[in-house]
Each structure stands twice: as structure tokens, then as C-alpha cells.
Amino acid sequence: MPLVEFIAGRLRELRAQGGLTQEQVAALLGADTRWYQRLELGAKDVRVSTVDRLAAVYGLSATEFLAEGTPHTKVSALTPAAPHKPRKAAGRHPIPPRK
């Protein structure tokens, strides 16, 4: 099974165990609900830093998150995180709008 599919299934499993909605998990991550939904569908690749954030929501380390069958220990205090803002890549300039 491809890793992105495993992560998608793991997210669904842990969210169900925690009794959370996709909107609640997205809020805990400080992320857009649609972005999170795409993760659960396996339609979006996941960065290593994102795995750390996802695991933290469920009180798990990244290793525990990626280990099949590890139940979540706690949902991270159900306190929404600050919105995640992507970093700008060094040395890149924004693309000017089309005319």
C-alpha cells in the first residue's frame, strides 16, 4: 500500500477513535478543512513536518502515528492551533499576475 493511502486511512481511524469531525481536526491543525479532507482522501502528498503536526493532534509521536494499530492517547487539548502559514522558498519571487 502506498504511504499516502496508509496515512489517509490512519487519519480516518484516529479521527473516528477521537470522536472528531474533519472540521475539528483542521481547526486543531490551524489548517483549512478542504486541505485536511484531501489528506484523508489520499489526494494530497504529506510532508514529514505535516506528519509531526498530525501525530501531535492525537498525542502521538510520528513513529507511533506511522505504526499501524497504535491507538491515540489523547487529542491535543482540543485547542485550535494558530493558522499554518506556508514559508516562502528562499530566493524565489512571486509570479506576476497575467495581463
pLDDT tens for 63-96 read 999 887 666 555 554 444 444 554 454 555 555 5
Q: Which domains does the chain have, with CATH numbers?
A: 3-66 (1.10.260.40)
Angle, nearest 10°, between helix axes 3-18 and 22-29?
100
**How far apart are the two ends of the chain, measured CA to CA in Å?**
45
Tell me, yes or no, if the pTM score tops 0.85. Answer: no
